[in-house]
Amino acid sequence: MNTRNTIKVFLTVILLFNGILSHSQEYKTEKPLAGYSGFYPYEKGYATVGINKKYGFIDKKGRNVVPCKYNFVFSFHKGLVAVELGEKYGLVDTTGREVVPFKYDFIGGFEDSNRSIVKLDEKWGFIDKTGKEIIPVIYEDAGYFYEEVTTVKENDKWYIIDTLNNRKPVRNDFEDLTSFREGLAAVKIRGKSGWGFINKQGKIVIPPKYDKPSFFQNGLACVAYNGKSGFINKKGEVVVPLLYEGFAHFSDGMAAVTLNDKYGFVNTKGTLVIPAKYPNVYSFYDGMAIIPISGKYGCINKKGETVIPFVYDEMYSGEGVFAVVKDGKGYFIDAKQNVLFPEEYQSVDAFKDGAALVKQNGIWFFIDKKGKRLF
């Protein structure tokens, strides 16, 4: 398990299926965002900004609290953000102070715990928010602490460890392990091609027979067998038949699935409630999903009924508000198609963290949920 690549793949999957559509591009900006060549949505009070492919952060008053000098930045979690300077990673706080020196080859951030995974000289370990190495950087591989335990590898042998580095050995024939999610971790047996799952005691509870695993979420995990995907529960029982192409995850009780290069939705009982007939879909939120048909966007409900007509040239969803573009005019609507603000924009993006990026009269700026400019 290559931890850094696994993290990047996991984040990519979440972005593909999270249903919050965004332009995901760099914006050319003028006042009041003068000087920035890249600008990205707010998250936990801070937005990433870029200058000449160097990145930092602004707060919701537009202040550049972290200077644009880093090659790569994650998002803030618990007041800290992992950033890359040169070819090394460190941690920076919300004032721009460099809390952990730039000595690591990788830092994962504090997404799910008070510990951050780090890599140095091809070894993995964990630090706390002061930069103290609370689990030594000695492991050949390691996973995130999602549930107060994780998996590590030393001398080609896997262990389950807790936050105090107490180690429990697992079977010698375990070739690969992932992090624990909802009490289970995916496992691959040496000399065998399939993946299964173990519990926190290291016992195999789902036999290793799947081509590739995902993680458990709300009691279900997407798995693949002979190139077809479906969902199993924690007993290893198939809930959604292994008939579909590609991986998905459940959101709002529905999961997008692919059949013959068309998309539909299954529910948590495994029923294909919306036939696979769409060229593309996005996840359900608040009982609705954005669908593109013949170049136009609208929304369906969980019965597959059209609840917002397919008349928009662009459509982005976030925080219960739809950003739409029609006939070159951008504006915001609610689920009943009520226009929320009288202003029209040249471009609009989804609301995230209470703010949305818009362009008006050639100028990019953020607005709040009342349509008021942030700064």
pLDDT per residue as tens digits for the range 255-280: 999 999 999 999 999 999 999 999 99
- The amino acid sitting at 302 is K
Confidence (pLDDT) at 27: 54
Residue 13 above 80 pLDDT?
A: no
Average pLDDT over the chain reads 90
Q: How far apart are CA 180 and CA 251, in angstroms?
A: 20
CATH classification for the domain delimited by 35-139, as one of 3.40.50.1460, 2.40.10.170, 3.50.50.60, 2.40.128.630: 2.40.128.630
How many C-beta neighbours within 10 Å does residue 12 have? Answer: 10
247 band by pLDDT with thresholds 50, 70 and 90: confident
How many C-beta neighbours within 10 Å does residue 140 have? Answer: 14
Helices (H), the chain: 3-17
Give mean pLDDT, residues 206-222. 92
Confidence (pLDDT) at 111: 72
How many C-beta neighbours within 10 Å does residue 35 have? Answer: 11
Domain boundaries, the chain: 35-139
114 band by pLDDT with thresholds 50, 70 and 90: confident
Q: State pLDDT tens for residues 180-189.
A: 999 999 999 9
How many C-beta neighbours within 10 Å does residue 237 have? Answer: 9
- Give the range among 2-11, 88-97, 190-199, 365-374 with minimum mean pLDDT: 2-11
